[in-house]
Structure 1
Amino acid sequence: MARLPRLAVPGQPHHLIQRGLNRQAIVTDDHDRQRLLDELRECAATHKVAIHAYVLMDNHLHLLATPETAEGLSRMMQSLGRRYVAAFNKRHSRSGTLWDGRFRAAPIEAGAYLLACMRYVELNPLRSQLAAQPGEYRWSSAAHHLGQRRDPLVFDHALFWATGNTPFERELGWKAWLEQGCSAAEWRVLTEAAQKGWPLGSAGFLLGLAQDTERPLQPRKRGRPAGRKTDSSRGA
Structure 2
Amino acid sequence: MQSLGRRYVLYVNRFYRRTGSLWEGRYKSSVVNAEDYLLACQRYIELNPVRANMVNDPGQYRWSSYRHNGLQMSDNRLTPHLLYLGLGKTAEARCAAYRDLFRPQLDAAAAEDIRAALRLGMPLGNERFAEAVCQKLGIRRNTGQRGRPVKEKEVVASALPGQTDFGF
Q: Give me the TM-score of the superposition, normalised by structure 1.
A: 0.54
Secondary structure (helix, strand or coil) at the match of 1:106 reads coil
Report the counterpart of residue 119 of structure 2 in structure 1: 195
Would the alpha carbon gap of residues 210 and 100 (structure 1) be closer, same or farther in structure 2, given more than 3 Å must change?
closer
Deviations 1:14-51 (A, max 9, x none): xxxxxxxxxxxxxxxxxxxxxxxxxxxxxxxxxxxxxx
> What percent identity do the matched residue pairs reach?
30
Alignment of 1:55-66 (within 5 A): none
Per residue, is there more helix in 1 or in 2?
2
The counterpart of 1:169, out of the listed 88, 93, 103, is: 93
Would the alpha carbon gap of residues 101 and 221 (structure 1) be closer, same or farther in structure 2, given more than 3 Å must change?
closer
1:184 aligns with 2:97: no
The counterpart of 1:215, out of the listed 125, 134, 139, is: 139
- Name which one, 1 or 2, has greater alpha-carbon Rg: 2
- In 1, Cα distance between equivalents of 2:59 and 2:156: 64
Structure 1 stretches of 4+ with a deviation exceeding 3 A read 92-97, 221-225
Would the alpha carbon gap of residues 119 and 94 (structure 1) be closer, same or farther in structure 2, given more than 3 Å must change?
closer
Deviations 1:115-146 (A, max 9, x none): 10000001111112222221111111110101
Report the counterpart of residue 164 of structure 2 in structure 1: none
Q: Structure 2, unaligned stretches of length 5 or more?
A: 14-19, 161-168
Following superposition, the deviation at residue 101 of structure 1 comes to 5.0
Number of aligned pairs? 146
Per residue, is there more strand in 1 or in 2?
1
Conservation of the 8 A alpha-carbon contact between 2:131 and 2:141: no
Conservation of the 8 A alpha-carbon contact between 1:104 and 1:196: no
The counterpart of 1:123, out of the listed 28, 31, 47, is: 47
- In 2, Cα distance between equivalents of 1:127 and 1:177: 17
Deviations 1:158-181 (A, max 9, x none): 111111111111100111101212
- In 1, Cα distance between equivalents of 2:157 and 2:25: 48
Letter in 2 for 1:108: V
Following superposition, the deviation at residue 221 of structure 1 comes to 6.0
Conservation of the 8 A alpha-carbon contact between 2:72 and 2:91: no
Secondary structure (helix, strand or coil) at the match of 1:120 reads helix
Q: Structure 1, unaligned stretches of length 5 or more?
A: 1-85
Alignment of 1:216-231 (within 5 A): 216-220=140-144, 230-231=154-155
Alignment of 1:40-55 (within 5 A): none
Letter in 1 for 2:48: N
- In 2, Cα distance between equivalents of 1:122 and 1:101: 19
Conservation of the 8 A alpha-carbon contact between 1:104 and 1:197: yes
